[in-house]
Amino acid sequence: MRGRMWKLAIYLFLLGFILNLLGIVTHVVVSSFAKRWFGKPLPPAFTTDWFTYAWREFELSHVLFITLFIALAVVFIALAIGFPAAYVLARRNFNAKPVLLLLYFLPLLIPQMTYGIPLATTLYGFGVGGTVIGVILAVLVPMVPLAVFILLPFFEQISLNLEWSAQMLGASRLQIFRRILLPLMLPGILTAGLLVLVNTISNFELAFLLAGGGSQTLIVALYYNVFAGGVRPVYSIDAMAVIYMCTVMAVLLVALRFVRPTQMVFRLDGRRN
């Protein structure tokens, strides 16, 4: 009996949390389609004008292009330099390895706002602050370690014997990489790439600190418009939020085909699947 009450309480809480989440998301969606909405449970009339308004006024085609460019550049670079590092960290033993792992872990552990301000100062000092390159460089700071830590367990799953056999059969390093590691690592690369992509699109703090006029990502532009509330109709801001949500959801839906939801958070126990 007590056990059943306990289970009930858990489900009720989860139901409440999910309903409240749905309420929050639905409110934004409904508001983006509202002609005018004040003090009523639902708007009296609906329209899609706010989407065209937002698209035009907030220059969303440009913002979306910038966002995708930044996100793809970050994914590409993070994988390109994270992949070899993850390989070495998974395969080789050396004295400095724990220190190295800690160093790679710190950008994920320390809040972005804490190191973002000195990072922004440095990048503005080099003259790349406010540019697309500055945003890419800043966002890469947590994304390179993220890629490394996602790829690492995938490497550990590949048996070392495969590499040894290939070596014994006369394969060069390049051949081992192209014929053995790359095909076996495809799921890992896909997982890491998608998670880096989602995290880059929804990364706020670093993109915000480094963004200038022409280098705002979608979420930064959204923030500025919410913050400057009153100048723009709230419905148009919600329309922009819906466009942002659809972008994230599209990537997320693809990602969730390959990724377990629990992979999206830190692992506490270091267990390997």
Question: Within positions 227 to 246, which residues make up the interface with other proteins, using CB under 8 A?
Answer: 227, 237-238, 241, 244-245
CB of 45 or CB of 92, closer to other proteins: 92
Count of CA atoms in the C-beta half-sphere (13 A) of 29: 8
Distance CA(163)–CA(171), nearest Å, equals: 9
Out of 71, 73, 222, 239, name the contact with other proteins by CB under 8 A.
222
The pair phi, psi for residue 214, each rounded to 5°, is: -95, 5
**Contact mark string toward other proteins, 51..90, x via CB under 8 A:** -----------------------------xxx-xx-xxx-
- Evaluate whether 202 touches 146 at the Cβ level (below 8 Å): no
Out of 98, 118, 170, 183, name the contact with other proteins by CB under 8 A.
118
With CB under 8 A as the contact rule, which of the stretches 54-62, 65-73, 94-102, 185-193 interacts with other proteins? 94-102
Distance CA(228)–CA(225), nearest Å, equals: 5
Out of 51, 58, 104, 155, name the contact with other proteins by CB under 8 A.
104
Interface positions, 144-163, toward other proteins (CB under 8 A):
144-145, 148
- Evaluate whether 124 touches 154 at the Cβ level (below 8 Å): no
Distance CA(181)–CA(6), nearest Å, equals: 48
Distance CA(221)–CA(199), nearest Å, equals: 17
Per CB under 8 A, 128 contacts other proteins: no
Minimum CB–partner distance for residue 69 and other proteins (Å):
19
**Could you write out the DSSP letters of every residue in 128-153?**
-TBSHHHHHHHHHHHHHHHHHHHHHH
Amino acid at 245: M
Minimum CB–partner distance for residue 24 and other proteins (Å):
3
Per CB under 8 A, 115 contacts other proteins: yes
With CB under 8 A as the contact rule, which of the stretches 48-56, 62-70, 139-147, 181-189 interacts with other proteins? 139-147
